Amino acid sequence: MALSYKARRRWSLFILVVGLPVYIVLAVNILALMERPPILVELLVYIVLGVLWAVPFKMVFKGVGKADPDADPALDAAEDETGRDSTPRG
């Protein structure tokens, strides 16, 4: 099931604001339960975990920073004629 642009924006915000901090707390607490490895191994584990969290959400984040592809181009042109800046913010 393909998510709409607005749904992907909402889910990406939720993932970044709620999911990522929860993931960080879980990763740090799980690593704290183990005996502390050498610093380079620990750094490698944190780097791998820092990249792995985004892999399942690749399709959610894809294209979120671009303009809405479902937006009406005529509406954008009308906004430009009124003198308002139609660049997406946020």
Residue type, 43: L
Q: How confident is the model at residue 1 (pLDDT cuts 50, 70, 90)?
A: low
- In whole angstroms, give the CA distance from residue 61 to residue 19: 13
The total of structural domains in the chain comes to 1
| H-run or E-run covering 86 | none
Domain presence at residue 21: yes
Range of the domain at 20: 5-81
Asked whether the beta carbons of 8 and 16 are under 8 A apart, the reply is: no
Domain presence at residue 62: yes
- In whole angstroms, give the CA distance from residue 48 to residue 51: 5
- In whole angstroms, give the CA distance from residue 32 to residue 70: 46
Domain presence at residue 10: yes
pTM here is 0.63
Q: Dump pLDDT digits (tens) for 48-75.
A: 998 998 888 888 888 777 777 777 666 6
Q: Dump pLDDT digits (tens) for 70-85.
A: 776 666 555 555 556 5
> What is residue 83's three-state secondary structure?
coil
